[in-house]
Structure 1
Amino acid sequence: MKEYKYKMLISYDGTNYFGWQIQKNKLTIQEAIQKELSKILKKNIKLIGAGRTDAKVHALEQVAHFSYNKKLDLKKVLFSLNSLLSDDIRKKNFASIRKALWKNSLWSPS
């Protein structure tokens, strides 16, 4: 069965979260998005972030991706996610991923 990869850009206010990565008994950005995305798609989805943030850290454009076995109506999924998630997490964009050509990271101390 063919798998499709989807990339999303996420903005969030991390004040109420314990960072990006799922942690036992802690509310995280990855868990919040993954939970709602799994509900929408009616399948357990594993969301993979391009990097991690620590507790209470914000992001303007966190990149994450997931795989799914069907083509999606990305506008509908984006609307649904933004409707279900708390106001401090916003999906800004979705795209299908064809092939990754390179990885580039930029880090700037505050």
Structure 2
Amino acid sequence: MTSTAVRVALRVRPLTSKEQMSSCSECITFIPDEPQILIGTDRSFTFDYVFSPDSPQRDLYEQSVDPLLKSFVEGQTGSGKTYSMGTGLDGNLNSENQGTIVVK
């Protein structure tokens, strides 16, 4: 991967219980072996990393977060290298539903 100022990882969340009870369905198609998604039939978006709802949290971390965090170790002390947070849906704090946002 080339060096850029911003890298974006997308992990599509699973449908919530409320969405499932309302008979909602997935509207995102994943392009095989590409960091790209298709919304509906005509809108495609490309990211640096794309993870499906079935992707384990470990894959997201190892492929996108860990390399970035390793680069922070070499950053200047006190330079405001990172802010991170995680979120769960529906108040569920299961680690598989957590997200990570890292800003350098």
User: What TM-score range do you get, normalising by the shorter chain?
Assistant: under 0.3
Which protein shows a greater Rg? Answer: 2
TM-score (norm 2): 0.24
User: Between Structure 1 and Structure 2, which shows a larger proportion of strand residues?
Assistant: 1
